[in-house]
DNA sequence: TTATAATTGAAAACTATTATCAATAAGGAC
DNA sequence: GTCCTTATTGATAATAGTTTTCAATTATAA
């Protein structure tokens, strides 16, 4: 289970397993939509009542260092986090419910070399995100 | 000239042409790299000494409403602005000097329909940004 | 069980952005 | 040009989000 594996990795890196960290990891490791620190705090507090918002920030920072989560930029905020994808993947995000899914298999090398040549840049990295509506939200809207 | 055209558009929408607005427009309309409010403020102050940071925020807000500028998300900040592209274009950004250029002609319909089918989403929008090094920075690094 | 040091939450500090407000000045009427 | 109206201004205060500080707590190894 992801939660346990993340806790093991924290431990393996010398971090102690505290109630605050367990509660935060439990939320972030299993979320299907990107969450900001306040959203994590509110969700995790129902598991561990004594949790402080500061510990959420601190734990997110560590999870990001360990590359277990990644920051996601959205139209209405740029500090939301999601479990990190394996390898090079891109995001597909539902504008209705916020559900985020990764996809891979973009093949944009041709585009990149065309643009690189035309503009005289050498390209190192790219961001690609798709926004749309998931089937569940589609149904909810039409039903 | 872009600066004049932007000022005309502000005027056409009933906004008065003030020193503060002129100074901000002059900077933002001619920049080649995305600037955040503080950067605009500092650059524009050399034109109009009395400028207040608040007026930069207010002017940027209006320019965005008039679709003369657009917000750009970067790895180290999400509140930078650039003159808006004509039609649907994407960004190519230099990691060295911040120079931003637009490009068009991505053809990603095949990718979109593949992803849409596989994930059961209907796709409405996409973000694509390329990061790299421009020829000038390349030279500076090697020379 | 005990000792140690990492971790905690509360509070204070900081930063970026927005709202308030009296003074100013742009632009239309004359 | 002068006058009038009111949009706009910059200073200031307020707010929101995030980080730092710090004494108390607690996870962990001895
Ligand atoms: Mn890719
Ligand atoms: Mn496109
Ligand atoms: Zn949805
Ligand atoms: Zn460059």
Asked whether the predicted pLDDT for residue A87 surpasses 90, the reply is yes
Domain A3-83: give its CATH code: 1.10.10.10
Q: pLDDT per residue over A6-51, tens digit each?
A: 999 999 999 999 999 999 999 999 999 999 999 999 999 999 999 9
- Domains B3-83 and B90-142 in one fold: no
SS (H, E, C) chain A: CHHHHHHHHHHHCCCCCCHHHHHHHHHHCCCCECECHHHHHHHHHCCCCCCCHHHHHHHHHHHHHCCCEEEEEECCEEEEEEECCCCCCEEEEECCCCEEEEECCCCCHHHHHHHHHHHCEEEEEEEEEEEEEEHHHHHHHHC
| Cβ of residue A108 closer than 8 Å to a chain B Cβ | yes
E-strand stretches of B1-143: 69-74, 77-83, 90-94, 100-103, 121-134
Asked whether the predicted pLDDT for residue A124 surpasses 80, the reply is yes
pLDDT at B57: 98
Q: pLDDT per residue over A48-64, tens digit each?
A: 999 999 999 999 999 99
- Per CB-CB distance under 8 Å, the chain A contacts of B112 are 130
pTM confidence score = 0.94
Give the residue from A85, A5, A78, A33 showing the smallest Cα distance to B127. Answer: A78
pLDDT at B1: 77
pLDDT at B47: 95
| Closest Cα in chain A to B71 | A75
Would you list the domain boundaries of chain B? Answer: 3-83, 90-142
Residue A47 beta carbon within 7 A of nucleic strand C: no
| Cβ of residue B125 closer than 8 Å to a chain A Cβ | yes
3 state SS of B76: coil
Residue B63 beta carbon within 7 A of nucleic strand D: no
CA–CA separation, A26 and A7 (whole Å): 9
pLDDT tens for each residue of chain B, 143 residues long: 799 999 999 999 999 999 999 999 999 999 999 999 999 999 999 999 999 999 999 999 999 999 999 999 998 899 999 999 999 999 999 999 999 999 998 899 999 999 999 999 999 999 999 999 999 999 999 87
Q: Under an 8 A CB cutoff, do A121 and B73 touch?
A: no
Q: pLDDT per residue over A103-122, tens digit each?
A: 998 899 999 999 999 999 99
Distance of CA B45 to the CA centre of its chain: 20
Distance, CA A97 to ligand 3 centroid (Å)?
4
pLDDT at B75: 87
Q: Under an 8 A CB cutoff, do B120 and A127 touch?
A: no
CB pairs under 8 A between A and B: 99
pLDDT at B44: 98
Asked whether the predicted pLDDT for residue A142 surpasses 90, the reply is no
The topology (CATH level 3) of A90-142 is: Dna Ligase; domain 1 (3.30.1490)
3 state SS of B38: helix
Residue A11 beta carbon within 7 A of nucleic strand D: yes
pLDDT at B127: 96
């Amino acid at each position: 289970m992801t939660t346990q594996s993340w806790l093991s990795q924290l431990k393996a890196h010398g971090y102690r397993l505290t109630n605050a960290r367990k509660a935060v990891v439990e939320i972030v490791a299993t979320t299907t939509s990107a969450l900001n620190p306040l959203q994590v705090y509110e969700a995790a507090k129902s598991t561990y009542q004594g949790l402080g918002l500061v510990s959420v920030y601190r734990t997110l920072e560590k999870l990001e260092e360990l590359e277990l989560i990644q920051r996601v930029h959205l139209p209405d905020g740029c500090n939301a986090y999601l479990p990190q994808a394996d390898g090079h993947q891109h995001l597909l995000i539902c504008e209705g419910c916020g559900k985020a899914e990764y996809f891979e298999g973009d093949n944009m090398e041709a585009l990149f070399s065309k643009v690189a040549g035309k503009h005289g840049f050498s390209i190192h990295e790219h961001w690609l995100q798709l926004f749309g509506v998931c089937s569940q939200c589609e149904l909810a809207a039409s039903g």
